Every structure is written in C-alpha cells, then in structure tokens.
Structure 1
Amino acid sequence: MLIINTFSITSAFAQQSLFNVPSVETTEKNKYFFQEQVDLFSKGVANTTLDYGLGQGWETGLTIPGVNFYSGDQADPMLLVNVQKGFYVNESWKVGVGTQTGYTVPFHDSSTEFATFNYWNNAFDLNDWGKYYLGVYSANKAITGNSANTNFLAGVELPFTQNVHIMADYIGGKNDIGATAIGLVWYASKKWQFSAGGQFSNDHHSKDAFQGAIVEFTFVEQ
C-alpha cells in the first residue's frame, strides 16, 4: 500500500476499510492485501476482500460481500470487482476514488442482478489528534436493498495506545448499508491488524437497530 510518514496513525500500516467506509489506502505495487469481516452474532454474514497493487496509487481486486454462513437469510451474495485510485492533495490530505461493481451470485434466485457501489472519500491526518474521513457514495438497489441512493461517508481513527486505536465509521441512508460502527483496531504487526466493534442501523426506530458484533482481520503483504 502507499505509505508515507506524514500519515502518522497508519504510517507503518494500512487497511482497505475502517469497518465499512473505505480508508483510501491503496496496495503497494505487486503486493497483495486481504481483509475478512464477520458479523458474529446477528446475521452471520462474511465479507471478503482481496486486492493487488498496480502502482501509482492504483489497486484492483475482488470483493465478496454478504455470504450468510448460519442465518436463515436467503439473500444471494455478490461478486464485485473493485478498483481504487488514491492520491495526495498535500502531505496531510489524501483522496480515494473507487468502485465495487459486479453481480449477485444466483445461489437462491435463478437470476442475477447488477450491483454497484461508487465513492469519493477524503482522509485528513491531524497527527496526534487522529485521522478523519469524509466522503460521498452512490449505490444502486442491489446494494442498498430499496432504491438507488447517494449519501455521505464519514469515519474517525483516534490513537488510544501506540498499537490500539479507537475506530468508528458511518454510512448515511436508511437502507441495507446505512449504519454506524464503533470499536477498536489493534495493529499487531506491520502485516496483521485485528478489529472488533458493534454495528447499529441508521433506522433507530427498528427493533433490530443493533445489527451485531463485527470482527475483522487484515493482512498486508510487505
């Protein structure tokens, strides 16, 4: 991934996303990145990402979200191709522009559905005061579950100790992806990161507003 020392919180580490919001970090040329996120208690859903660095701030790979491994949810998973370009505006402001686009996999339904999630995200590094994210996304019905939606992305990562940070993110909209997540990330080494937290739906009037506990592990090839 593209790493420079001006981004102090993640100068030695990088991650494809916070919990749900893209982090705008990109994989170094000819290196691999792997991330697995699992909702343990509520829906039993796994989300998998594998990326390859192309150089000059570009990366591409595959994302497989929505694989149900013990719930009764019959929703089809998706197979998405992801592409991202990251670049620096100045030494403390980085921008990421990307897409995750593909089709549903017809495990339960006989038909496929086109799915796309596109974003522009900004990362602002304030050194010891943390790292902050603000952006916008546009996604179609296959992603949101109801209708095409354009809304905000936001996130924050604050140092708690040298290797443990408080992390939270937000995806706007009252739809399948609209949620707030908050927890901790442990930078175990330059290659391995582990995150855990809770996720809450933006529909606060729903009895299922708490969507469950999230665990996530990340591997970055060095």
Structure 2
Amino acid sequence: MPALLLLTPAVPAHLARLPPRRPAILLLALLLALLAAPAARAQQNLFNIPSADLTPQGKVFFQHQSNLYGGGYWEAKNHLVYGLGKGWEAGLNVVNLQMNFRRGNEWLGINRADRRVPLAPLVKLTGQKFFVLSPRLSTSIGTQVGLNPVRFGGQHRDLTHFTYHLWKWTPRHHVKVVAGPYLSDRGTLGAGNRAGLLLGGELPLSKKLLLMGDFISGSNYASVSVLGVNYLVTKRVQLCLGGMLPNPGSRNRAGLVFELNLLGYDPDADEPAAH
C-alpha cells in the first residue's frame, strides 16, 4: 500500500499464539485496595485514559508518553492542557508518533490506508467539561477531535474523534477511582469495537510514590491494561513507569510505558473546583 509506510503495529505470529491474559485482574486488585490507602499528593493523569482531574484556570499541564516494544518499535504521545475556568479545559494532543529503529531508511511510521490500525500520526484538539457533585464525586464529558496531517498521492485527510464520559470517586484525599464509557471510530481505534469502558485508579504507597493503573476494554488498538508507579520528583514534576499488557483477542503488543508529567501549578495549593 503506497500510503502506508512501514510501521503497522501488527503482532508477530509467535506473539499472536500466546495464551490469553487477564491483566484487568491486577487493576481490580488495585481498586479494591484504595479504601485503605494513605494520603499523598495527587497526580494529574493516568497512563492511557483521559484525565479526570481539572486543570486550574490559567494553568497548564503537559505530558509526554513513550511506549517501548520489542523489535526496536517505539510510539509516543504528547498532551498539552490549559485550564479555562468554570469547569472547562482545552488542549492539544499529538499522538501515534511511531518509529522503528531497525528499518534503516524507512524508520518513520505513517499510516494512511491500513484500516486495521489507527491513522498515524494524529493531531487533535481536546475539550473537557467537569461537574463536581460532592466532595468525593465528580463527572466530566470530553472529546478529542483531529486529523492526520500527512498527505500522500493527493489523498484527503481523515477526521477522527475519541469521546468519553468519566466519573471520578475519591474515597480519601488524593486517592481515586475513575470509570466511564467511551465512543470512537476506526481513525483512532483501528479494527475492533468502537465503544467500551475506561477504568483507572491510583493508590499512594508513600508521600513520593503512587501505584496506578488503567484499562481500556475491547479488542481495538487501544485495548490494553497498564499497571505501574508514579514517582513524584517535585510537586510539579512526575516520572511514571508501567508495564503494558494487551487485552485477550486484541492482537496488541506488550511493552513498557514511560511518562513525564509537568504541572504548571501545585496540585494541593491550586486544586480547582468546577461548577
């Protein structure tokens, strides 16, 4: 396919034959342990699901995520969010940046034609509205809408979206469970289901270390579970490391996830309230 340059994330045959895993069990164990958790400073975002934390008005949040797979394959995502006030935030996502360092001159992954996997790369505008229902319960509705900026052979760009409705329950200070449905399309998810469930949570282990994980249901390209830790270097700098496991039947790859979070505010001092 002339519009598909290399890096389609198809799973090698020997990986496709591996027995099904159930990584969501690990995440469930994390969520069940939340009620007994000690307090620690909150983090702004989980690994793969959208943030259920509101960015304060006039403040910014930036996240870089790198996914490392076998065979020299690398994928990156970048998120920039700005707090608009009155429960609103907006931002810019640049995702599906793919490289394979073992491909010689053909190391950059650009997907325009293979409908089994998402468009790559993608640039999306984001927006999210938050509603605080009680000191422990809040909800938000958000969407990420964008297109693939790279064109080949006169082909038009495709518009794609990822829309979600999240609920966040905070049983203790800076301890949270996040859950809700999502709806998307093939440009973002590739082959597989278009709707499903988002689930995530974080559990403070100490004042500097959080155990966290998230899960995206289904059998599409995004259907994985990640379980890892977040080290709070300072109030505004966080380093995260996790293991990523594919959902059974998704044919995704296992890998490592690295994140860098930069907050333009102190989470405790500038904790916002939506209306």
Same fold (TM over 0.5): yes
Q: Take 2:173 and 2:58, find their aligned partners in 1: how far apart are those partners?
A: 31
Alignment of 1:167-206 (within 5 A): 167-204=212-249, 206=251
Report the alpha carbon displacement of residue 151 of structure 1 after superposing the two structures with TM: 0.6
What letter matches 1:33 in structure 2? F
Q: Take 1:39 and 1:21, find their aligned partners in 2: how far apart are those partners?
A: 14
1:118 paired to 2:163: yes
Verify the 8 A CA contact 2:192 2:218 in the aligned structure 1: no
Verify the 8 A CA contact 2:216 2:222 in the aligned structure 1: yes
Q: Which residue of the other structure, out of 52, 61, 70, is the alignment partner of 2:91?
A: 61
Q: Which residue of the other structure, out of 125, 128, 146, is the alignment partner of 1:102?
A: 146
Match of 1:89 in 2: 133
What letter matches 1:136 in structure 2? P
Report the alpha carbon displacement of residue 135 of structure 1 after superposing the two structures with TM: 0.5
What is the count of residue pairs matched by the alignment?
211
Report the alpha carbon displacement of residue 115 of structure 1 after superposing the two structures with TM: 0.9
State the secondary structure of the residue aligned to 2:133: strand
User: Which structure exhibits the higher relative contact order, with contacts defined as CA atoms closer than 8 Å and separated by 6 or more residues?
Assistant: 2
Match of 1:217 in 2: 260
Output the TM-score relative to the length of structure 2: 0.71
Structure showing greater radius of gyration is 2
Output the TM-score relative to the length of structure 1: 0.87
What letter matches 1:145 in structure 2? G
Q: Runs of 5+ in structure 2 lacking a partner?
A: 1-37, 102-106, 112-119, 266-275
Q: Runs of 5+ in structure 1 lacking a partner?
A: 1-7
State the secondary structure of the residue aligned to 1:44: strand
Match of 2:183 in 1: 138
Match of 2:123 in 1: 79
- Say which structure is richer in helix: 2
- Say which structure is richer in strand: 1
Q: Which residue of the other structure, out of 64, 67, 71, is the alignment partner of 1:39?
A: 67
State the secondary structure of the residue aligned to 2:187: helix
Report the alpha carbon displacement of residue 23 of structure 1 after superposing the two structures with TM: 2.6
Report the alpha carbon displacement of residue 148 of structure 1 after superposing the two structures with TM: 6.1
1:184/1:107 Cα in 2 relative to 1: closer, same or farther (>3 Å)? Answer: farther
State the secondary structure of the residue aligned to 1:90: coil
Verify the 8 A CA contact 1:167 1:185 in the aligned structure 2: yes
What letter matches 2:62 in structure 1? F
Give the % identical residues. 27
Q: Take 1:146 and 1:111, find their aligned partners in 2: how far apart are those partners?
A: 20
Match of 1:22 in 2: 50
